[in-house]
Amino acid sequence: MIYIGLTGWGDHYSLYPADIKPASKLSEYSSHFPVVEVDASFYAVQPLRNASKWVRETPKNFRFVVKAYQGMTGHQRKDIPFESKAEMFNAFKESLKPYQEANKLAMVLFQFPPWFDCRSKNVTYLRYCKKMMGDIPVALEFRNQSWFNDSYRKSTLSFMQEEGWIHSIADEPQAGDGSIPIVPEVTNSTITLVRMHGRNLHGWTKPKDKDTNWREVRYLYKYNKEELLEWEGRLSQLTRESKDIIVLFNNNSGGDAAGNAKEFQSMLGIEYEGLSPRQLDLF
């Protein structure tokens, strides 16, 4: 089964009535899509009350992809509010319990930064992450091209399969070492993740500065029909090897993610059952 959704639920204004309150957005979001990515967990390990609230606001069959905390992936290397890596991982795993108890945790996504390249110490760290997460399903997404160059591509995929990592396949601009190619390969026969970041090469490579909101630039992209048709063909192959596939659109700097997700759903002829009732905007 193919499950289509978005990264986050707060900013997709085309989905919501104009007067909707922020606290009502997830419930309304879940009337459109059966899965969402939680990105708040990347910036801070979330208190249990947040996950409990989100679980209550979504229907029985809804699923969450929860991003790993940035201290766990090396994005944040200073001022981490934990005394040890073990404490950090344990706190994060504790924060997942409401999703697990409701059977709504699809996976935890470990997205590593561009400087996390293919070298022995990083392979060792990946083994540590997998060990610390235990039997929690975990997906792996790289941002450094070295993992998939000609020398390491086959070994990287074999390693992910042997260690039990779900492949997070990325569609993103081809910007040299700080990006990865589309690698439509399954490493887990149960589930595969696809994340659609857009193809804004200029925004992807634009240096960060104090006058620019980096996220508003990087993901400014709208997929056209031909690009979505490329993915229709890829998914046709992936579904032969993976029972479930989650596709998340992250190209929302210009508000295009929801529209592209809806277009792709229509293109694939998918109708989801068990969504939340949709609000009626009568006036």
169-191 pLDDT, tens digit per residue, is 999 998 888 889 999 999 999 99
What is the residue extent of each domain of the chain? 2-268
Q: Which CATH architecture has domain 2-268?
A: Alpha-Beta Barrel (3.20)
Cα(73)–Cα(22) distance, integer angstroms: 29
* pLDDT(280) > 80: no
Q: What is the pTM of this model?
A: 0.93
141-167 pLDDT, tens digit per residue, is 999 999 999 999 999 999 999 999 999
83-119 pLDDT, tens digit per residue, is 899 999 999 999 999 999 999 999 999 999 999 999 9
Q: What is the mean pLDDT of residues 269-274?
A: 92
Binned at pLDDT 50, 70 and 90, residue 203 comes out as confident
Number of H helices, E strands in the chain: 12, 8
- Predicted local confidence at residue 170, as pLDDT: 96
**Residues of 181-196 as b/e, b for ≥16 C-beta within 10 angstroms?**
eeebbbbbeebbbbbb
